[in-house]
Copies of this chain bind each other. A is one copy, B any other.
Amino acid sequence: MKTAKGVLYVFSAPSGCGKGTVLAEVRKRMPELRYSVSATTRAPREGEVDGVHYYFVSRERFDELVETGGMLEHATFCGNSYGTPKEKVLEFLNNGIDVILEIETKGAMMVKESYPEAVTIFMLPPSIEELRRRLLNRHSETEEVIDGRVHEATREIAMAENYDYVFVNDVVSEAADTLYGIMQASKSLTKINKDLIKGVLEKC
């Protein structure tokens, strides 16, 4: 059942869990689903286009957005700030278009705070050991970096119980089926259908 308003999905998974692969499968079945474009204070890299890869904004503009409640979530890494501007996302949602934010756990909790109707989904690795194996198989990082990622993953997984849904990525196609099913069924979650109940009662 399609709700009048679009649904805001918040999707998190530890690095190395296969988030991109699973999401790519799901997006094929939901071509109308939109990603939000983040704002950042860092300088554009070669080939990056303003409004496509990021909105490149000044520190002043970024801080202003944060202070006036214009960011759904934001964080700072290595001195650069990143955030999800609220305005564009709300515009999509109000036009009945679903939006997905692929963000880490702290940001996800900030979105939940500022937009409680968001549907929050966390994807787990089958085990920490398997996550480490997947990271090692990339052959692109030192063992020290991988240790750091595993440590961070453990911290993130401990946050999973604050999400609406949680599932394991064991086999990619099955995980994509599960995620797609969750995204469809979550349109019937009561927390995003309070107006529907009111509407039925009013149409007397």
Q: Which of A's residues lie within 8 Å of B, judged by CB?
A: 1, 122, 124-129, 154, 157-158, 160-168, 174, 178, 181-182, 184-186, 188-190, 193-194, 196-197, 200-201, 203-204
Residues of chain B within 8 A (CB-CB) of A194 are 161
* Structural contact, A163 and B190, CB atoms closer than 8 A: yes
* Structural contact, A189 and B165, CB atoms closer than 8 A: yes
Given contacts A154-B201, A182-B185, 10 further A-B contacts (CB under 8 A): A1-B174, A124-B200, A127-B200, A157-B200, A160-B197, A162-B190, A163-B190, A166-B197, A182-B188, A185-B186
Asked whether A188 and B200 contact (CB < 8 A) given A174-B1, A181-B181, the answer is no
Asked whether A197 and B129 contact (CB < 8 A) given A164-B189, A185-B181, A185-B184, the answer is no
27 pairs of residues in contact across A and B, judged by CB atoms under 8 Å: A1-B167, A1-B178, A122-B190, A124-B196, A124-B197, A125-B200, A127-B200, A128-B201, A129-B203, A157-B197, A157-B201, A158-B197, A161-B190, A163-B190, A164-B190, A165-B185, A166-B188, A166-B190, A166-B193, A166-B196, A166-B197, A167-B188, A168-B196, A182-B188, A184-B185, A185-B185, A185-B186
* Structural contact, B168 and A178, CB atoms closer than 8 A: no
Q: Which residue of B has the minimal Cβ distance to A122?
A: B190
Q: Which residue of B has the minimal Cβ distance to A167?
A: B188
The minimal Cβ–Cβ distance linking A177 to chain B, given in whole angstroms, is: 9
* Structural contact, B160 and A128, CB atoms closer than 8 A: no
